Amino acid sequence: MANASGLFTPSVPNLRVRVRPLTGIHRFEGLSAKVVCFGTIEGADKHASTVSPSQSRIPRLVSQGCKLVGCGSAVPTLQISNDDLSKMVETSDEWISVRTGIRKRRVLSGGDNLTSLAVEASRKALEMAKVDPDDLDLILMCTSTPDDLFGGAPQIQKQLGCKTNPLSYDITAACSGFVLGLISAACHIRGGGFHNVLVVGADALSRYVDWTDRGTCILFGDAAGAVLVQACNSEEDGLFGFDLHSDGSGQRHLNASIKEDESNTALDSNGSVTGFPPKPSSYSCIQMNGKEVFRFAVRCVPQSIESALQKAGLPASSIDWLLLHQANQRIIDAVATRLEVPSERVISNLANYGNTSAASIPLALDEAVRSGKVKPGQTIATAGFGAGLTWGSAVVRWG
């Protein structure tokens, strides 16, 4: 039986099922206790503050769990500082850092491309997890800026040398992409019997930045990050709860819409059919209403994390680390304050890389793991948010 999150449960007779889409929760009516997909039971909140994440979760109606076992990241060699930007637009290092927390960023140049960064990050994640490329069952490439319009995941599969031709496809959800990829990986493992799923977050938003626009050019950088999600028994499950949303009415606040090339007149209809053939198209530079995006993030992200924690049966005090999409330090600080997470338990590398979209969470995670900050068994609350508008959160255990 598959629930709304793509998780399969054993057949249970004489139960009436009520499914709520994309909430990460599955209730069965007709039982003496309420059973939740991510393991809460009515009354558990009374005891949640005194038990660990694994202890607070009851056995669930899922046959297997999943865990995060490896990570990797890669960034371009070209580094652009705030001082470099001040020579292009009217700004300064102080103006940028005070308002965003960003001091420098990496940008693709020369022969660099996004696929090569994604492959490098993937190799590092596989090496940490001690998994051979041929043992991969699925590759998810979370990106809005692939090197090929039709997607980049199959090229990662090719360059990793996967001889078994595992399914590989792209997920387009901008800055929320990695969190959506993480939940998708869990669904494939729990519901599809997959064992090793590689989730890659990679973006090159520098390709769509107007470098004369002070409001956006100071924000973005390029990078790739990857995490290996692996099947495990339900007792070791490392995904405690999640929460996902979208609101298309917010698209006007953050977009890079398609536009016709008005200058290209090579194809002429000659009066035969009006408007045909269509003119060549491309995407505009990123358009953003910063104030509205800020309001959206500080309102929705804490609510989403609180919802994921509730579904997991965990209090905010159980979080070892808060890892948000690295968009703006003011957003990160505001969310941490709302959740009452002290600054020393907040992961941030925004100052060095800027907003790297779908890459920001796995990039920051990889640095935190390799530096010894994040240790196996620790609980991380993570959230992505951005264009769409989309946003989502997950409560996970590392290792």
Catalytic residue numbers read 175, 325, 355
296 — phi, psi (to 5°)? -60, -45
User: Shortest CA distance to 201 belongs to which of 136, 133, 114?
Assistant: 114
Give CA torsion, residues 167, 25, 314, 385, to 10 deg. Answer: 60
CA 251/CA 286 separation, integer angstroms = 12
User: Shortest CA distance to 174 belongs to which of 256, 105, 259?
Assistant: 256
CA 192/CA 32 separation, integer angstroms = 30
Q: Is 161 exposed, middle or buried (0-12, 13-18, 19+ CB in 10 A)?
A: exposed
- Across the strands, what pairs with 395? 241, 381
Q: Give the gyration radius of the chain's Cα atoms.
A: 22
Across 250-273, b (16+ Cβ under 10 Å) vs e yields beebbbbeeeeeeeeeeeeeeeee
CB 361 within 8 A of CB 201: yes
CA 176/CA 386 separation, integer angstroms = 6
CA 351/CA 329 separation, integer angstroms = 8
User: Shortest CA distance to 197 belongs to which of 171, 223, 235?
Assistant: 171
Outline where DSSP puts E strands in 44-133: 65-74, 78-81, 104-107
